[in-house]
Structure 1
Amino acid sequence: MVKIAIAGGTGQVARETIGALVASGKHDIAILSRGRNAPTDLPSGTKWQTVDYQDKHSLVQVLRGVHTLLSFVQLLSDPNQESQKNLIDAAILAGVTRFAPSEYGSKGTTDMGWWDGKQKIREYLEEVNRTEKVLEYTLFQPGLFLDYLAFPYKTATHVVPLQIGFNFERLRAMVVEGHEDAVMTLTTAADLAAVVTRAVEYEGAWPTTSVGKVKLEDLEAGELKSPWDLEAVHKAVSPDEAPVFQKTVSIGFLLSSVKGA
């Protein structure tokens, strides 16, 4: 069990994640918010804490004893991202071990000005850790919520569907001519919440991102230089054959994916 603080805890994605954390029954959870009064539907097993994100000194006091700080602060309401920068500074001073900034969307932000704040915070985290790691952090980047595609129907507990370039109800979609094969990532809000919950329980060091890149030339040469090890293997494969089989299948899967399989 660890003590978790959740900044911006009244938002839709935050509430989705809080629900999963509470369901695990393993943690002491404090919800941080600018609001003075706790909502009537505050999840049982959580505590409400009113904070001033502009008061770094008070944030330090609130974060004393916190192990993991998850930020869901609304980016649009703070163009310069002072709230998250103050949270990061306060977390370091308070001795917080882990931090996750307000991401929960795409990795890239090109042509999406409403997400410019993400890049500012990524750069700030790199800067504070430049000479030595003073705050462990990871970027949760699930892409687009699959639940949005259900519009006007709601498939998540808290995340409300949005109208985007797809309208399944009316059998319509928008694509860019000549780029019909553009790649995108879709994740349900429930799966994101489950991943964050598992990440909180993870005892190793958090990686900045959880996607490891390998080189095409290495794969073509039969080498799998992965930043993490494979474990599971099909039950039809004997234990003696497992290491070679894992490597062979992984290389084949990656190469075939690159070639359109």
Structure 2
Amino acid sequence: MVKIAVAGGSGQVGQEVIDTLVASEKHEIVILSRDKAVVGDGASGVTWRAVDYDNKSQLIEALQGIHTVLFFIQLMADPENTAQKNLIDAAIVAGVKRFAPSEWGRQVASTIGMPWWSGKDKIKEYLEKVNENGKVLEYTLFQPGLFLEYLAAPYKTVKHLEPLNTMIDFQNRRAIVVDGYDAIMTFTTVKDLTTVVVLAVDLAGEWPVVEGIRGNRVLVSEVLKIGEKVRGRTFAIEKVKLADLEKGILTASWTLEASHPSVKGDQVEKMLKTVLIGTLLSSAKGAWDVSDEMNQLLPDFKFTQIEDFLTEVWDGKP
């Protein structure tokens, strides 16, 4: 049993991970929160603690006795990475052994074509720098690819993760692809991710810097074949040019509809277009072909297979 601190535990992925940690009944969990209103004891083995991420002394105190820190605060809530950098600094002083930065939102091997996630690379560089003269903090980048649950949109299939639609729209039997590219995509269910995180906490030895989690590694064309099989009809495919995407031009007749709750007001429409362009562009350039470090460390773990998941979700749906 170890003591785990979760920063940003009120977020969607954070809550999914906390639920799985609690269900394992192995560890003591401390949820760090900016919001004093939510502070209080919750499930057995879980404690909430209010913190000020601008106060390093307070963070050091909060991390006393902590073995592992899992960071889930969204970039839009920490645009300069101030909270995450301060927590990293505090973790080093407090003697924390392991730190998992906010890779969960990135989910890919590279941020190429996705400027809204550039802050992830800055944190990676920061962690490299603090260890440049000798390791002072063990860390890993959990990278699961795209959540498979998003292909179930608009249906919610887990407790906390809200459905977001993608360039492959199962509900309306349509897709947008990059002309001339059959991209490799990695899809992992959030349930599998949370289980792997719990197993990773229990692993002896040092975490690898990158912990790629490859639930399913498939071509876009394969996803479309599965889609047509489980949806019982041919998908309408629109093709866009890579050169247009690189100029920020989207020629498709439709775009994304559901945005992340961290995006507000008049920024929603712009962000939806940016994310769709970025996802298409990055897929063509190989950013969603995630490595398989965790698969190798957990050879007996059985990941949810894409066709099984989608068949169950879409069975009987109009």
| Count of aligned pairs between the two proteins | 218
Is there any run of 5+ residues in structure 1 with no aligned partner, and where? Answer: 212-225, 234-261
3-state SS in 2 of match to 1:89: helix
User: What are the residue-to-residue correspondences of 1:98-247 with 2, within 5 Å?
Assistant: 98-104=98-104, 105-179=107-181, 181-210=182-211
CA shift digits 1:80-113 (9 cap, x unpaired): 1011000000000000000000001112111212
**Cα 1:230–1:160 shift into 2, 3 Å:** closer
| 1:78 equivalenced with 2:75 (yes/no) | no
The answer to whether the Cα contact below 8 Å between 2:40 and 2:49 also exists between their aligned partners in 1 is: no
The answer to whether the Cα contact below 8 Å between 2:71 and 2:100 also exists between their aligned partners in 1 is: yes
Mapped partners of 2:30, 2:168: distance in 1: 37
How far residue 43 of structure 1 moved from its aligned partner, in angstroms, is 3.5
**Displacement over 3 Å in runs of 4+:** 39-44, 228-233
How far residue 41 of structure 1 moved from its aligned partner, in angstroms, is 9.9
How far residue 119 of structure 1 moved from its aligned partner, in angstroms, is 0.4
User: What are the residue-to-residue correspondences of 1:45-60 with 2, within 5 Å?
Assistant: 45-60=45-60
- 2:7 corresponds to which residue? 7
- 1:33 corresponds to which residue? 33
**Cα 1:12–1:39 shift into 2, 3 Å:** farther
3-state SS in 1 of match to 2:124: helix
How far residue 232 of structure 1 moved from its aligned partner, in angstroms, is 7.0
Larger mean CA deviation between 108-117 and 119-128 belongs to 108-117
TM-score normalised per structure 2: 0.65
- 1:245 corresponds to which residue? none
The one-letter amino acid of 1:12's match is Q
Mapped partners of 2:6, 2:85: distance in 1: 15
Mapped partners of 2:200, 2:79: distance in 1: 28
3-state SS in 2 of match to 1:185: strand
CA shift digits 1:152-186 (9 cap, x unpaired): 1011221011022121011111111111x111111
**Cα 1:38–1:44 shift into 2, 3 Å:** farther
Larger Rg: 1
Mapped partners of 2:7, 2:157: distance in 1: 25
**Cα 1:33–1:232 shift into 2, 3 Å:** closer
- 2:289 corresponds to which residue? none
**Cα 1:232–1:138 shift into 2, 3 Å:** closer
TM-score normalised per structure 1: 0.79
How far residue 229 of structure 1 moved from its aligned partner, in angstroms, is 7.9
Structure with the higher strand share, 1 or 2: 2
The answer to whether the Cα contact below 8 Å between 2:7 and 2:32 also exists between their aligned partners in 1 is: yes
Mapped partners of 2:39, 2:167: distance in 1: 34
**Cα 1:88–1:205 shift into 2, 3 Å:** same
**Cα 1:44–1:206 shift into 2, 3 Å:** same
- 1:95 corresponds to which residue? 95
3-state SS in 2 of match to 1:90: helix
- 1:247 corresponds to which residue? none
How far residue 63 of structure 1 moved from its aligned partner, in angstroms, is 0.2
3-state SS in 1 of match to 2:141: coil
Mapped partners of 1:72, 1:232: distance in 2: 27
The answer to whether the Cα contact below 8 Å between 1:19 and 1:43 also exists between their aligned partners in 2 is: no
3-state SS in 2 of match to 1:102: coil
